[in-house]
């Protein structure tokens, strides 16, 4: 339940933050080749996001979810993610396929790894990533249908986030 609420809210917030920087003056001042239609679309998307943010905030406030409750939800989600990550790491280290399946239940990873052979491929990729062979690890992940190493908190952090998570062997999102 918490995950179902916080992930869309967080994803929306990140998108809103990125698009909120787009206003006509800014877009016309940067050195990026944009058509008038593209500028209009970006400005309009900003307005839509701002309206949606206001509506979302009003909706959750109406049912009694205030900033304190959102902090509580984020803390619970963070704790759950840490516990899951520890369980995944332990299962990998102990070559425990069943524990691994339990740890990844209801995650995108569960869609990608559904056999002992997939688990073994994932373990190999995990070890390659830990040893610094990111390229080969990413190739193995692609074979499993996993697009890229998981991003910190689910969001792209550029190369740094990928390197940090890759160093720790954290992988995640399945390709479509």
Is 156 within the bounds of a domain?
yes
The two three-digit tokens of residue 55, written as one number: 């509506």
148-162: pLDDT as tens digits: 654 433 333 333 343
- Which whole number is the average pLDDT over 64-69? 92
Predicted pLDDT at 148: 62
Predicted pLDDT at 149: 55
The two three-digit tokens of residue 95, written as one number: 């070559």
Is 176 within the bounds of a domain?
no
Is 172 within the bounds of a domain?
no
Q: Looking at 65, 93, 109, which one is the last position of a domain?
A: 65
159 and 92 together in one domain: yes
Q: How confident is the model at residue 124 (pLDDT cuts 50, 70, 90)?
A: very high
Question: Which residues are CB-contacts of 20 (< 8 A; sequence separation ≥ 6)?
Answer: 46, 49, 50
**How many Cα atoms within 13 Å fall on the side-chain side of residue 155?**
13
102 and 55 together in one domain: no
- Which whole number is the average pLDDT over 92-114? 94
24-47: pLDDT as tens digits: 677 777 878 888 899 889 989 999
Predicted pLDDT at 97: 97
111 and 146 together in one domain: yes
61 and 104 together in one domain: no
Instruction: Report the DSSP beta bridge partners of residue 174.
Output: 146
- Please give the residue that has the higher pLDDT: either 26 or 96: 96
161 and 127 together in one domain: yes
Whole-number average pLDDT of the chain: 78
Identify the three-state secondary structure at position 62.
helix
Residue 167: pLDDT over 80: no
Q: How confident is the model at residue 163 (pLDDT cuts 50, 70, 90)?
A: very low
C-beta of residue 55 within 8 angstroms of C-beta of residue 26: no
The two three-digit tokens of residue 148, written as one number: 């890229």
Identify the three-state secondary structure at position 51.
helix
What are the two backbone dihedrals, phi and then psi, of residue 146, each rounded to the nearest 5 degrees? Answer: -100, 120
Q: Looking at 65, 100, 115, which one is the last position of a domain?
A: 65
**Cβ of 135: how many Cβ atoms within 10 Å?**
9
Is 54 within the bounds of a domain?
yes
First to last CA, the chain: 24
Identify the three-state secondary structure at position 146.
strand
Q: Rounded to two decimals, what is the model's pTM?
A: 0.57
Return d(Cα 19, Cα 42) in angstroms, integer: 7
43 and 90 together in one domain: no
Measured in whole angstroms, the distance separating CA 45 from the mean position of its chain's CA atoms is 22
- Please give the residue that has the higher pLDDT: either 58 or 4: 58
* Overall domain count for the chain: 2
- Candidates 83, 112, 77; CA nearest to 99 is 83
Q: For 94-167, where are the alpha helices, taking DSSP H only?
A: 97-103, 108-112, 116-130, 134-143, 158-167
Q: Which domain holds residue 146?
A: 84-167
52 and 91 together in one domain: no
């Amino acid at each position: 339940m918490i995950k179902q609420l916080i992930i869309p809210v967080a994803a929306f917030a990140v998108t809103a933050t990125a698009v909120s920087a787009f206003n006509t003056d800014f877009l016309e001042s940067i050195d990026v080749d944009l058509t008038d239609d593209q500028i209009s679309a970006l400005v309009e998307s900003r307005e839509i996001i701002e309206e949606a943010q206001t509506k979302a905030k009003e909706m959750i406030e109406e049912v009694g979810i205030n900033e304190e409750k959102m902090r509580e939800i984020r803390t619970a989600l963070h704790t759950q993610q840490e516990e899951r990550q520890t369980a995944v790491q332990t299962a990998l280290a102990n070559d425990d396929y069943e524990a691994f399946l339990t740890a990844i239940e209801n995650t995108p990873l569960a869609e990608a790894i559904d056999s002992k052979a997939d688990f073994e491929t994932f373990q190999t990729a995990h070890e390659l990533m830990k040893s610094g062979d990111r390229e080969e690890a990413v190739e193995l992940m692609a074979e499993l249908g996993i697009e890229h190493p998981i991003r910190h908190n689910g969001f792209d952090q550029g190369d740094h986030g990928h390197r940090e998570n890759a160093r720790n062997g954290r992988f995640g999102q399945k390709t479509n």
